[in-house]
Amino acid sequence: MTPTPHDVAATYGENALVEAPAIALLESLGWKTANLYHDVGAALTAWAIMEEAMIPIMSYLLITDPTKAGIILYSTVNFQVWINMLDELFAIEDRYAPLKSKWYQLGARLRGLKDNRDRLAHHAATMGEQASMCEISLRPSIMDLRAKSRKYEPMTREDILRFRTLVSDLTRDLLSLGREMTAMFEALQEKSPE
């Protein structure tokens, strides 16, 4: 009897060769698979919330409503460009000059976290390379031979949780900057003649 495509996929597919063994190992270590997926999902959700905190900042710099600023940012695929646009807008917008250095520090933190965000989104959960290393971590594909991907140690659960905390702290600081910009904008509105 000829095996069906479903039979072949069940035996040789990604689930059989990668996911099922990883799940079995996680369970044998007492680490529920849901923890890994939850931790990665929570970290990426924290990143998405942080991105939202950048929209009011862009809105004030462009003197437009947040909807339009959001369209501009979310239509820009490269996150580095988001940061660069905000850098350039702060450089030419005098009304927020007292906040430039604060933004530049936040921008540096954003740049520092971006590679780890990409690792969370694009690396797969795998076992340690040695039998004694029964740990699950995120690693690049064996086909990803870029120096950038190879320079990192595998991303452990602790690394993922640390990333989430750093992103949450950054979000808090971006929201604080947005509140300072709101106060400055409102003060300027009160001073300007009608």
Average pLDDT, the chain: 85
pLDDT at 33 over 60: no
Separation between Cα atoms, residue 102 and residue 97, nearest integer Å? 10
Contacts of 35 (CB under 8 A, 6+ apart): 26, 157
pLDDT at 138 over 90: no
Paired with 125 in beta bridges are 138
Instruction: List pLDDT tens digits, range 86-136.
Output: 999 999 999 999 999 999 999 999 999 999 999 999 988 776 655 444 567
Rg (CA), the chain: 22
Task: Name the pTM for this structure.
Answer: 0.78
pLDDT at 19 over 70: no
And the tokens for 165?
């905390």
Out of 11-20, 31-40, 50-59, 154-163, the most confident range is 50-59
Instruction: List pLDDT tens digits, range 151-179.
Output: 888 888 889 999 999 999 999 999 999 99
Backbone angles phi, psi at 125, to 5 degrees: -75, 125
